[in-house]
Amino acid sequence: MARVVVDVMLKPEILDPQGQAVQRALPRLGFEGIADVRQGKRFELEVEGPVDDAALARIRELAESFLANTVIEDFTVRVEESAAGATAPTGAAR
């Protein structure tokens, strides 16, 4: 099965108070030199069948209409090549 990853981020002009809170906590934890943090969402879609142009077009539609609110968020869609999955020998121990 192929995996398609949809990343959703708040648009740059939209304030991200969660990211700011994370960023402000960093010095207390001893992490220096992080100028900014933005927090987003990652969706991993396990797709049945081939991930062809038609499948990707449908996923983009899904991302645009549901996974992201394009009033405040941007999204990207990409296919993640599986390293193991189909090529792993059957019966292999973990």
Both tokens of 27, joined, read 């010095």
Minimum distance of another protein from residue 20's CB (angstroms)? 8
Query: Which of 17, 30, 49, 50 is in the footprint of another protein by CB under 8 A?
Result: 17
Contact 1, 84 (CB under 8 A): no
Contact 55, 47 (CB under 8 A): yes
Both tokens of 79, joined, read 């296919």
Q: Please, which of residues 47-66 interact with another protein by CB under 8 A? A: 66
Query: Which of 69, 76, 82, 88 is in the footprint of another protein by CB under 8 A?
Result: 69
Strand partners, 41: 8
Site residues, another protein (CB under 8 A): 10, 14-15, 17-18, 21, 66-67, 69, 71-72
